[in-house]
Structure 1
């Protein structure tokens, strides 16, 4: 109560007016000047601005005393109920001394909103029977602006049938009616699309539109109409029942039930006519339901009406006149006097198959009959010379049962009437088979691969031939045409099932003994004069890795251990021993590689995996054992791999330096076809066989001569092989040309290599040749020979 008593009296209200959408920062008024305050007097005093719930829109500059716009104001938002005046009330409170100023800020409207319709699409159903002057209510537009900025008037798009009338209610609201000014015709225009536009009075003018769609509802105001009043149709007598005479199609411009038509005969159509013709009430199609006979009636008249299904149906009428045309209504007849239904396929050309006679009860052109047969049949028809209506059916070209086993021959008798009538008769001719086709194999040459070590009796392949003949002419018997290879008949190696052509192996094949076989198989039918054909069969034996490598050097004359003695002063890189293994398999199965399986000192010896040479990697030291044990495995490249091993016991002996000072090792050449080797081969080839035997005997005697030595030296070997290969620098390399034999003999000056081609098919012979060290002691190794069959 004390506060209210002390509160000073409020000043009079100060009013301002601004347009809505005024920009931010705009000055509404200078409060200091309008309220009688000194300029700058607000800077030292506390000023409070109370604008109720609209504080975000206004603010006071204390330095200048100006009332400023903080946020743009929307009159339609602040005053949604569209009052005539929109006032924003606020109080300015200044303390020291306390003063209160009442301010009213009037927001004036601007034309910032366009009129709009609550429904922008209106559909009206109007009957085409509506009379001019009928009115139809349309939705009115709304505009949130006030005064002159709100809706002022309405406009309608140009129309020959409609206009609008505007009425104003007691509250000033305008209402729009659509008025029919001209009668509607749905058949002329079923839909009218109008645009109603609402315009306000602002500046600039704003407007809004709504689509008015008037759908014209049909009334039954159009009768059915035929395009002709009289229809004329020509019909031949004896037209089949169901034949269409005419299909009437009346048109009714109405829609729905008003356009659905029902067709019927009127009472002016005779009962006899209605017994011959039928009317489909839905489609208007007139069809034949009885017999049309020219001799009975020359023409028929039908009176037709089409009636719609409207509430008050309308109808249209027409007349159909049918003229009957006389026709050839007697069919020709065919008589088969003699027929052969079964003939051999090799029947001669010109053979008579059938005798045919024809008749027709008509006369004149309608009684003249011609006989035809269906296309693509190798037969001809010949007329009998004395009987014009009689024909002979003949074979015109050779027949083939395998191409066409049966013939369906259609005889067609056709008269000369208009239109012509025809009759037909079918003859079936069956061809009997003749043995005129030899058996046929799908291939002329068969290559069959057989893995060696096959099981006897295994099926190799099925060689079935085909014979298109029938019965016994088709039954085939298979034979192997006899052929001897190395006094062995093919029937001892292979067998064929005479009924189905299945080919079997009778023995187990060994690739190392037999590489392939070439023979012929014959297929013969069982005809009375049998026909046959044959096919070539090439059997290829495929190698398996079924032979382990055979170590032929160093030769083991006494057991599987080889004992060798070498000087302890042997230099680094010296050849200690050479392992040579042979594998009688082929290609990759015969490729042999070498490796140590066990070695006493791995730092002392090296083994070449390809040529089997064992060399010293360093000189012997006093710490090295005098006895070295080397186990070498020779492994082929098969899957799974097979192998052989050899154990070499090396014993080192003390020898004088002088004894070996003159021994040098001459390396072997790798390229066997170098110029020097080529000349050597040519020279050796020119030496007679006697000289070769002399050299061989000399080498053998030298190896067998006993010489004093402290230890038995290792021996070297010569190899004669039937395998197609080439040995270069003591290395066996596969080659399909020919085999070489290698003779190694050691002298004090080094090695002697002699290469000589051996004929294909020879066995390989491995001869062990002892090596002399030049010492006085006798060697224990004796010459030996290994022969492999």
Structure 2
């Protein structure tokens, strides 16, 4: 029957047990109950809904070999499943309890149920033999006592309390007393001395009755033979001996040396010792007795967990005729030692454990068992190493819950492997361990991250469409779908669908069309990466694609291809600057660095500046020059690979100082490719010439310095790469920086289009296209005052 307290205390205890996820019930049932006998409403008593027993995977575990009980999952009733024999389960133990463990899932909870097996009077008293034979000498005085073998009853309590009754007779009566072990004994008392001649044999019936309801009885025939002579039985110095032995007592160890005394003499005094028939066989296999000396020794290993108490009935019998005997009891208590290693079991475990599990989550249910008793059977359970994010919480009777004690992060630790150790309190303590592996399952808590926040890519112009130019890569420490990354280009800042694409899976960047440095020098955009988790997380990186120049534009003269006429008054001194050729190249850097030279067969007395384009005389020209009109063919080449070039033709006419100059002279190239200059000695011309010379000298010094520190390199082909500073010319000019670069070719684009050739003619007046006379000094372009920077490469314009 249910033994919970009544009223409000019962409700409070039930509620507390439910909140803790564990509890304990106590029922009782009679042994030999039929199958289906009601035991208790276990679901109701545990606070479980009957309708949820199956969904919550209700199950009951018993610690025995047989399933004596079962639960009806339809109504939650605990009933008897098979026959229960209390004597078979618990023998003479006063408390006979079966332990049941109840486990439910979702959420995980467990309960402990005890079912006490009540004894019923189903065993009658039993004597060890059908008859007992006593030999009693005549002339024994009245009051002499004879110890009889009593009956045994397998029941306990009042069901095993025996009373004895002797069949009616004139010579004997019974004296029932209590020994020190509180077990009933039967003593036959001689009331009237026996006379062998009157009756040599007496037949009596001894009846034993238990205290159960209904009462059960057992009988034995007493055959009493009347003998002569030997009238003194052996006598022990005490009727009960109590001995304590450690369970590790070695075989052959002495337990006790019994010594009985017989007052007779001669053969009637000699005696032998032996076990009574009441001693069980396995007791006789554990202890041995020396029939001559009465020594009792251990002959087999003792085990407290098997049997912790022995009751030995010893008989001392003399060798008289007839022999007389006396019985005593040797009660042996076995003392426990710490000889059983505690065991640990995992009753239930929930893995893998999500990394976002809340603190206090029950991961596993663990139980410990130690067969020892007392302090040797008390255990404690702990984890090793101590740094794991779990702890053990004691529930009841050596049951523990493994709960989460700290937050988890799968990216730092993907699984935890630790040892659960159980240790008893004995001296020395014994322990055992099991290893638990708790894998952590992933959630999408990490966004993809690129290997660097920004990338710089250099691509040569005129790349083939669809060329792979770079690969971006993002990493996600999550796993499975949470780490599956796809890429795309964010076109919110600038539509790039005609220029760049990215492969969604590999992160490879492709140039969709051929890039032209002269049209587009920089592409800047963001590449985004997202994972496949729920919810989706994203990351981004900035990509800068710099287009690198190739020598795909030849130098171009912005003026006419016709010859240009220059009038000079002879004589002319050596080194006289006649004019300046100016060409433009649409490329940049090394590819736009121009060099001027005269074709050999047309050089004559003329020379041209290699990088300045200035045309000057090599020696004095006088009035005696044979050719009054001379043509100069100037070749303009860049420094690219392959090298591209263009030509310009210049005509020089020599006149004497007395020749008349007509006002209708036309200069077909004036205003476009060359500018006539008046050779007047003025301050501006001197300043311009000095400035050009000084800056040219400075450029030469810079050229020499850079040649000492930088080796010429080829600029990179299209493809992946980092932003680098490349020395692209033989004079050490820097072709790229991390910012946008422009070509600077000595003059601005506007000036270059209008003034490609500058002529210095000191004495000849210059006429404009409209026929007006203009001072040569006034026609000097600003470009004449600028220093040719072609030999300096590319200048970074901020």
TM-score by length of 2: 0.43
Q: Which has the higher strand share?
A: 1
Q: Which structure is richer in relative contact order (CA contacts within 8 A, separation 6 or more)?
A: 2
- Structure 1-normalised TM-score? 0.43
